[in-house]
Amino acid sequence: DIKMPYRQLWVRNLKLSHAGIYTCEYGSHKVRTTLHIFSLTISLDGHFLQNEVPELILTQNSSSPLPELHITLFDSNNNRVTPEVQNKSRQKYIVSLKKLEAMDSGTWVCQVHADSPLINQNISFAVKVLGFQNPDIERKYAAVDSTVILSWHLNSQKIKWKEGFTGQLKWKQQESANAHELLDFNVTAQGQLHETKKSSSFLFEIPERKPESTIEVKLPKVHFNHSGQYQCQLEYQGRHAQTKIELVVMKVSANPVGPLSRGANMTLTCQVSGLLPPNAYLRWERVNGTKMDIKDSKQHEVKLEVNISAAGLWSCHLIEDSDRKISLHYHVEEAPVWISYVIIGASVGGSLLAFALGCLCIINGISWQQRRRRAKRMAQARQYLLENKTCQCQQ
């Protein structure tokens, strides 16, 4: 297109083949302009799932010898990104970036520089990363019989993703165990999230009110065997992205169960359902007690026992990086005095009864031995008499 009145030439929908020398003639005057064209393409049309690695292809064309380019990349937060150049020629540069995270969505800038001819060109391009705002692995602690809500936050609303995707939420107790499907979900082109609960013996609920683009499950009453990995996975065009929450459940118990009598001992046990990180441990302590009433677990221990002889409120804490993640309390009641007397009396009475039974057994044993010896002597006497009568008859 020719734009008047300055005789401007507009070249629309530039292609690499449009590069070259453009000459403007006016009478005997000639003016030449060199058009240098860059083409920047991004893999997957700029639509990625988290942890995927984008690839940039920068191509240049010019009528003059192609210069050597220096490429600098800036992400959506204007942070400089160090690329990895896979293939480099004067005409084409293939660059691989880092693994993407959900927060990398936005407008990126490719800065192109050359010294001869002097080139300083900024090329902007859009990157959309669909994924979870949660970390790849998240750990959550809960007490037995408490209520827990597990949440996975998608960024589909934030980046205005126009294509639908599907996903599912699975649960398994260990890495090698079989997975149980809890729910399926999909997002429409309008960004609406729909969830379908799968048939399962696992008791959980889907909260009605929650933030947009959020997957949630509610465990109204956590059991010890509800621990394990809750993995949320989404799929887009045959590709997958996933993140999981590791649920660790704690319980406490006592042996024997019941009031603690004076002078007696009790064993308190605190146990968690899964492995703890190296910077986490269990601690038993008596509320308003002394340092002698504190006991810590060793590294990687998932069960801590403490033998106590003092009643009161005992607490088990799960501590990670000096931060108490969860605490469970066990109130040890002191038995009334009359119960102690009854126990003491029962113990003394039992001891006396055992002593009496022992004496009786000894007396019976002695009598039995005496009867046995007497019977033996009588048998010997009868044998002697019989032998003597036999001898008299022979005479």
Q: Where are the domains of the chain?
A: 40-130, 138-249, 256-332
The whole-model pTM stands at 0.72
353 contacts: CB under 8 Å, gap ≥ 6: none
DSSP 8-class letter at 208 = S
Cα separation, 177 vs 183, in Å, equals 18
pLDDT tens, 374-394?
A: 777 676 666 666 666 554 444
Ranges under pLDDT 70 in the chain: 162, 189, 191, 337-351, 354-356, 358, 365, 377, 379-395
Cα separation, 68 vs 118, in Å, equals 11
Instruction: Tell me the residue length of the chain.
Output: 395
pLDDT tens, 292-327?
A: 889 999 988 999 999 998 888 999 999 999 899 999
pLDDT at 202 (0 to 100): 76
Quick one: 123 exposed, middle or buried, by C-beta within 10 A (0-12, 13-18, 19+)?
middle
pLDDT at 345 (0 to 100): 59
Q: Is the peptide bond before 220 cis (omega within 30 degrees of 0)?
A: no
Q: Name which CATH class applies to 256-332.
A: mainly beta
Relative to beta strand 47-49, strand 55-61 is unpaired
pLDDT at 394 (0 to 100): 46
pLDDT at 342 (0 to 100): 47
pLDDT at 282 (0 to 100): 95
Same fold, 40-130 and 138-249: yes
pLDDT at 355 (0 to 100): 67
Topology at the third CATH level for domain 138-249: Immunoglobulin-like (2.60.40)
pLDDT at 356 (0 to 100): 64
Decide yes or no: CATH 2.60.40.10 for domain 40-130.
yes
Q: Exposure pattern of 323-356 as b/e (b: 16+ CB <10 Å)?
A: eebbebebebeebeeeebeeeeeeeeeeeeeeee
